[in-house]
Structure 1
């Protein structure tokens, strides 16, 4: 029997339960990990509340990111062995491969021997944020030196990863956050410019910063009314990549900006990268190089023990964090 987190009904953080269950060994092509740390993501709050793209059968496990030590390997697995310290690229289904538990199994192709210099807590905070930002900014938008890139929800783990990647490529990162509370932290982290969208005129500030060239890339998980000032500030031929829908308000389609500037508005899920072996290998190489040279440094907002998973989810949804929420097991 091992301890896992499950929920038997949809709802708030309080529906999460730690239960003792029997866990099967790894199947063919899988690796079973003795979990040491979990990286928490908004997707887990969404699936728990019934608002995710995946519908869970109840009771259900959850969780996308983990780091730990390999306990066992399934048939056909090569290059990985019990005792290896590893971290996990988020699987395509957290219902099929839930991470929240003392033992968890994952497809071997998504298990990575992370750099020995990383702690388990930091290793659990790597893959979702950097793969999401890499896939959007490099694989899709082809970000290059001199580009202006507007990054909304900039203090999230993905937003911070996007700032680092923009800086690594020589682009200009414009961090957009709701209030000025995190402005200084974002500046110190490396954002070239920071806009508090609830306190400043977003469109005017973007135009002031980017000038006539405009913002070529917008990276947004929010949607809602901000689509209009964001697209108004974009350069001809620019691309807006939408990877979420956090705004409770309707998202307008900025027809005339799209037409007059030949803009691309593109929906994006990180699974595009994860499901393509060639693109995933390129992404992993970029991220591992960045971790090694120090240009990519995961930020942990707060760490919770496994027994406080409910409190960890409450903090995850508080919007108070700067970086990743991590749970130690």
Structure 2
């Protein structure tokens, strides 16, 4: 049997996600690769998709988009990426329904795991690094980034935030990080001693950001939270600056007076890895996947695991994934 995580309606993930049993998958067809999953991550975006699912489908909706495992079989005549063959370790993304013991994936979504990369890193090898690469590219679209402009990011202690910090350092991008607590700030300073960190538990955190910028323009802000925090970021941006939102952790909307946008000539953008899946050219996707693999090899110590669970502990794993202040990604080993 194959055990798979599904939901039939939107709502609190801990309440609506469930594990079902179904027959083992058949042999893969042309264009497909059968993978026995060894681990998969619980990303914030996975849980947001469950919460936002409209209505009641009446039919099981498979959960998750990323997993790592071992190739069991390749469909006849199927072109595959280098290193993808029976017995090889691979990561699969994007694959709706990746939270399963077995997945039959489109061959173009299957990527060989580099030697020396652990299962724990391989399970996170694509979504978060690709998000970091995508955000860096969008930030550098602003003419001042990489020159005199400062890049500001919130939720800097998150998995994506730590990877983006490592990527920014590698590309000589001036960065100021923002986190929620002084404990989180101390942890980031230990990892990246040359990158200034401000904490929103300090009432004067916006002035701390200005001080860290040291007179340079805060040209781009990256934010997965939204709400009141995003409004504060707009105040910090220099005229002509850009706010890029890539998440919606806050419950309240972003409320901005039109005069702020008009007088500062600001740009507001929304980005998700979902847009990358649907709107990015295949050549660009291949380039980003290659960059993600390099990040996985070069920054292994930034792929923290917050906890590892079995499928029988799904609700506990989801609760941990949503826990404030956690460091790293929660993984599930489905066997």
Please tell me the root mean square deviation across aligned C-alpha atoms, in Å: 2.4
1:125 equivalent to 2:130? Answer no
TM superposition shift of 1:222: 1.0
Rounded Cα–Cα distance in structure 1 between residues aligned with 2:218 and 2:16: 42
TM superposition shift of 1:56: 5.9
Instruction: Choose the corresponding residue for 1:42, options 40, 44, 51.
Output: 44
Rounded Cα–Cα distance in structure 1 between residues aligned with 2:229 and 2:138: 25
Q: 5+ residue gaps in structure 2?
A: none
Q: Which moved more, 1:248-257 or 1:219-228?
A: 248-257
Q: Which moved more, 1:255-264 or 1:102-111?
A: 255-264
1:100 equivalent to 2:99? Answer yes
1:242 equivalent to 2:242? Answer no
Rounded Cα–Cα distance in structure 2 between residues aligned with 1:138 and 1:248: 28
- TM-score, L = length of structure 2: 0.87
Instruction: Choose the corresponding residue for 1:313, options 310, 313, 318.
Output: 318
Q: Which moved more, 1:186-195 or 1:60-69?
A: 186-195
User: Structure 1 residues 85 and 41 mapped into 2: Cα distance closer, same or farther (>3 Å)?
Assistant: same
Instruction: Choose the corresponding residue for 2:219, options 210, 216, 219.
Output: 216
2:287 alignment counterpart = 282
Instruction: Choose the corresponding residue for 1:190, options 192, 195, 199.
Output: 192
Instruction: Please list every run of at least 4 consecutive aligned residues from structure 1 whose deviation after the TM superposition is greater than 4 angstroms.
Output: 52-57
2:5 alignment counterpart = 5
Q: Which moved more, 1:298-307 or 1:178-187?
A: 298-307
Rounded Cα–Cα distance in structure 2 between residues aligned with 1:55 and 1:23: 26
User: Structure 1 residues 301 and 278 mapped into 2: Cα distance closer, same or farther (>3 Å)?
Assistant: same
1:171 alignment counterpart = 173
- TM-score, L = length of structure 1: 0.89
Rounded Cα–Cα distance in structure 2 between residues aligned with 1:156 and 1:55: 32
Rounded Cα–Cα distance in structure 2 between residues aligned with 1:323 and 1:241: 23
User: Structure 1 residues 316 and 294 mapped into 2: Cα distance closer, same or farther (>3 Å)?
Assistant: closer
Q: Which moved more, 1:223-232 or 1:252-261?
A: 252-261
TM superposition shift of 1:37: 0.6
Q: 5+ residue gaps in structure 1?
A: none
| Contact kept in structure 2, 1:302 and 1:321, CA below 8 Å | no
1:246-270 Cα distance to aligned partner (Å, 9 max, x none)? 1112211253343333222111121
1:83 alignment counterpart = 87
TM superposition shift of 1:290: 3.0
Count of residue pairs the alignment pairs up: 323
1:270 alignment counterpart = 273
